[in-house]
Structure 1
Amino acid sequence: MNSISRRTFLGVAGAGIAAAGIGVPFVSGIAGASSTGKVLPSRVPLPPPFQRRLTLPPVLLPTRSDATTDYYDVVQSVTRATILPGLTTKLWTYNGSFPGPTIRSERGRTVTVRHTNNLPVPTVVHLHGGRTPQDSDGYPTDYVYPTDMSYYDRHLRHAHAGSGHDMVTGGDTRQGMRTYTFPLQQRAATLWYHDHRMDFTGPSVWQGLAGFHLHHDDEEAALHLPAGDHDLPLMITDRSFDTDGSLLYPSLDPTLVNQHGVHGDYVAGVLGDVMLVNGTPWPIAPVQRSTYRIRLLNACNARRLSLRLDPPPPSAITQIGTDGGLLVEPIHHDHLELAPAQRFDILVDFSHYAPGTEVTLINDYGTAAMGQVMRFVVGGGSPQAFRVPAQLSTIPALRPADAITTRKFDFRAGDVNDHDGWLISQAPFSPDSIAAHVRLGTTEIWQLNADFHHPVHIHLSPFQVLARGSGGPGPFDAGWKDTIDLRPGEQAKILIHFDGYQGTYVFHCHNLEHEDMAMMANFVVS
């Protein structure tokens, strides 16, 4: 929010749902309304775009494997890396890289990941999009404490991280280690993992705790999609930098131990002014005259993206998948809109471009430098196009008639302990409060109402979008989703079939500043 004070913002938000027509934004005149948040300006000159080559995150190999399971080890540690020319940046990393190493898994094989926390504060790991038992889902207070507690104990002034709750389960996490088990009995999909610590997810992810988890199955393999160096996972993030190259973030408590939250208008969301793709600012990527599979992940804390290619490919952008895996059939777009945490799996045919053509990935929701993301440079050689299958997958359509109940949840700004914050149905998050009790194996309709932009993420069970306002799903709502992009003043309905596992899970806004400022709730599957 660039042009109004926080108090004005709250006043508008309080009247939002009542004042808005169904599905009609009521804040379209506000500057920067494509994202709910405020730009945090860097204090160092921004690097020129398209100077450094795109890199892909390293693929993590199993420590060992047996007949049913692949075992991985990840160490969370402080690392220094060169992101801006001539400067080094301190990062919190998985295995020393940002993004963290990519884990590739196959349906039918269990994955276990042992995380060792060598960072100064507790962490929590969530496999976003994973169909995961409760004890490995990354509940926000299932802390993995540091191996060295000296920093944490020295700064700790409250019961725990400002929350007063400590419901650690599964292993002696006080000793800095936890093993997460992922059965991964689910369709092939572009998943990702990131920190999920209660009250501090925003600064932890901002400092680097995020990575890809690419899950595969036989249905996907039968399509013979572009693979190897033609399969490009792209994690798009925005960050801001201080004069010494360190990351800027407006935390109320720079120790990230006690008081959570951010200063002033940044409660609405923190927007960076440097665009990173796989940790590199505005990179350049050479491509052959052939078809590439590109996995787009919006890993920004709060920034929404509207992406297109310039010049556009003659065959448009072909979407083949979304959060929850393959679509039934390809969908052609001239642009894609991604809220934080959403993924789009696309095919781009570079065979029609002349050698030497520079193709820029544009962000129409950004201004100045943030209006560009990266650039592809087309090489020579004979064109080799890929024939996209007309049928990609089979997805059973959930039926509204099968829903046993409809629940309504409002996502809007409000006061949290006399501070500006964000609420779900007038309530801030508490591990002790349950917003919904659902029965395993049943289907429900959830109606979600928004005041401002809220990317709503639901753990455990993917969903299908039933309606936006008085119409049907939007142009980017096809397939199985785990995150829906709610627009200002919008009402949406989704169908969820709760299967997999019993236990306590959360749903929340994936604008990470909203999440940290209490926009999260529990649901129990029994």
Structure 2
Amino acid sequence: TSVHWHGLLVPEAADGHPRDAVPSGADYDYEFTVINRAGTYWFHPHPDLRTGPQVYRGLAGLLIVSDTEEAALPLPRGEFDVPFVIQDRRFDAGNQLLYDTGDMMSGFLGDRILVNGRPDATFSAATRVYRFRFLNGSNSRTYKLGWGDGSPMIVIGSDGGLLPAPAERPYAMLGPGERVEVWADLSHRSIGSELILKSLAFTAGGMGSGTLPDGAGFDIMRVTVDRPQTETLTLPATLTPITRYRIEDAVNSTNPRTFAISFATGQWLLNGLTFEMNGITPNEIVQLGDLEVWEFQNTSGMPMMQMLHPLHVHAVQFQIYERTINASGAGNYATVSGGLVDSGWKDTLILMPGERAKVLMRFWPHPG
């Protein structure tokens, strides 16, 4: 196996590339300095063709990074800063985990939803403000997080830490590997009241598979308010500043580097190619320090064969510059677009059927 430090800016030797997988009985020391801004990051294995089953069986976890800038803000702390890892699983009659590679297009989808390893999860809360950090640790499933009573989601952070300012959304989309941080104000709720966190229904595209298809609606967790406490925190108007990249400053501003998703011969491809352990194409060579614009495209093939895809880039944090959707994908896109939060730093994004997304990223500080 190997360990990938998802979202962290680490040297090549510490990134957990599949070619650096550690054989059974051997060991490997990962050494690096954490230079990321405060945020919710995570780690998971990354061996070729084994990442899915290893993550599924528990080889993953959170890394919470803090810094002085974040510490100066009036945010919930201690027991009121709570991480939640959301995953889907499947169990046999003996309550043992079942895993298969799933549908070749959709990947593995479970029919039980776990939060921090527990099914039918309940969180006991006081009449306080909470900082809820959500990680989608599922293999393939995307969540459309929404409160059961219709309250808005107040998003304060994404993959790479706090946003410049809170973003109010009717729901928050969360693809595999993505993180979102939410300001949950329970201070005015009555003792004994209950708030349900749901995954709202949406259209993910593709053919759909399993007893709980991607895009189905279901309950995730119940938040029960069971004790009074006095709250003094109020939602800050601003959080941490982010300097936005300018597309005109990219070295390829008029000629984005493109990566097109397609499906052929029973496997997913990027620019018509499969993964090669040591192969490098000219389109995969960048210069250290350069700012580039990349365009991810999910427009190939018949519309009924296109589906939602998560995309993750190692060793950088990027900014989403723009999203465009074609006519055939507009209906699906309308079921998720209200929950996209693109104002912060990202290392993972979801791309809907018929969508193109341009992102800006600087290749710094490590070569490799």
Q: How does 1:222-371 map to 2 (within 5 A)?
A: 222-250=72-100, 262=101, 265-313=103-151, 316-365=152-201, 371=218
Where does structure 1 lack aligned partners over 5 or more consecutive residues?
Answer: 1-122, 148-175, 251-261, 504-526
Find the counterpart in structure 1 of residue 288 from structure 2: 440
Find the counterpart in structure 2 of residue 111 from structure 1: none
Q: How does 1:20-419 map to 2 (within 5 A)?
A: 123-147=1-25, 176-250=26-100, 262=101, 265-313=103-151, 316-365=152-201, 371-405=218-252, 406-415=256-265
| 1:141 CA displacement | 1.9
Distance (whole Å) between structure 2 residues aligned to residue 247 and residue 344 of structure 1: 27
**Partner secondary structure for residue 177 of structure 1:** coil
CA contact (8 A) 2:89 2:97 kept: yes
Find the counterpart in structure 1 of residue 346 from structure 2: 481
Find the counterpart in structure 2 of residue 425 from structure 1: 271
Distance (whole Å) between structure 1 residues aligned to residue 93 and residue 126 of structure 2: 38
Distance (whole Å) between structure 2 residues aligned to residue 445 and residue 357 of structure 1: 48
Distance (whole Å) between structure 1 residues aligned to residue 185 and residue 154 of structure 2: 9
Find the counterpart in structure 2 of residue 173 from structure 1: none
Distance (whole Å) between structure 2 residues aligned to residue 243 and residue 236 of structure 1: 23
Find the counterpart in structure 1 of residue 313 from structure 2: 458
Q: Which moved more, 1:219-228 or 1:265-274?
A: 265-274
CA contact (8 A) 1:275 1:370 kept: no
1:494 aligns with 2:330: no
Q: Which runs of 4+ in 1 moved over 4 A?
A: 366-370
CA contact (8 A) 2:74 2:233 kept: no
Find the counterpart in structure 1 of residue 329 from structure 2: none
Distance (whole Å) between structure 2 residues aligned to residue 131 and residue 280 of structure 1: 31
Residue type at the aligned position of 2:242: I
**Partner secondary structure for residue 83 of structure 2:** strand
Distance (whole Å) between structure 1 residues aligned to residue 52 and residue 189 of structure 2: 40
Residue type at the aligned position of 1:469: T
| 1:267 CA displacement | 4.4
CA contact (8 A) 1:400 1:495 kept: yes
Distance (whole Å) between structure 2 residues aligned to residue 434 and residue 217 of structure 1: 37
**Partner secondary structure for residue 53 of structure 2:** helix
Distance (whole Å) between structure 2 residues aligned to residue 185 and residue 141 of structure 1: 25
Distance (whole Å) between structure 2 residues aligned to residue 244 and residue 310 of structure 1: 32
Q: Which moved more, 1:439-448 or 1:379-388?
A: 379-388
Residue type at the aligned position of 1:342: E
**Partner secondary structure for residue 276 of structure 1:** strand
* Percent identical: 38
Residue type at the aligned position of 2:168: H
**Partner secondary structure for residue 268 of structure 1:** coil
| 1:379 CA displacement | 2.0
Give CA deviations for 1:97-127 in whole Å, capped at 9, x if unaligned.
xxxxxxxxxxxxxxxxxxxxxxxxxx11001
| 1:476 CA displacement | 1.6
Distance (whole Å) between structure 2 residues aligned to residue 421 and residue 269 of structure 1: 11
Give CA deviations for 1:235-279 in whole Å, capped at 9, x if unaligned.
0000001122221112xxxxxxxxxxx36x344211100000000
Residue type at the aligned position of 2:4: H
| 1:317 CA displacement | 2.4
Find the counterpart in structure 1 of residue 209 from structure 2: none
Give CA deviations for 1:72-102 in whole Å, capped at 9, x if unaligned.
xxxxxxxxxxxxxxxxxxxxxxxxxxxxxxx
Residue type at the aligned position of 2:276: S
Residue type at the aligned position of 2:127: R
CA contact (8 A) 1:304 1:365 kept: no
| 1:470 CA displacement | 6.6
CA contact (8 A) 1:140 1:198 kept: yes
Closer, same or farther: CA 247–197 of 1 in aligned 2, 3 Å: same
| 1:178 CA displacement | 1.2
Residue type at the aligned position of 1:188: A
| 1:385 CA displacement | 4.9
Distance (whole Å) between structure 1 residues aligned to residue 229 and residue 59 of structure 2: 40
CA contact (8 A) 2:37 2:67 kept: yes
Give CA deviations for 1:118-169 in whole Å, capped at 9, x if unaligned.
xxxxx1100100100000010012112222xxxxxxxxxxxxxxxxxxxxxx
Closer, same or farther: CA 352–202 of 1 in aligned 2, 3 Å: same
- Larger CA Rg, structure 1 vs 2: 1
The alignment's TM-score, normalised by the length of structure 1, stands at 0.61
| 1:413 CA displacement | 1.0
Residue type at the aligned position of 1:414: A
| 1:199 CA displacement | 1.2
CA contact (8 A) 1:412 1:452 kept: no
Distance (whole Å) between structure 1 residues aligned to residue 169 and residue 248 of structure 2: 31
CA contact (8 A) 1:404 1:444 kept: yes
| 1:319 CA displacement | 1.0
| 1:380 CA displacement | 3.1
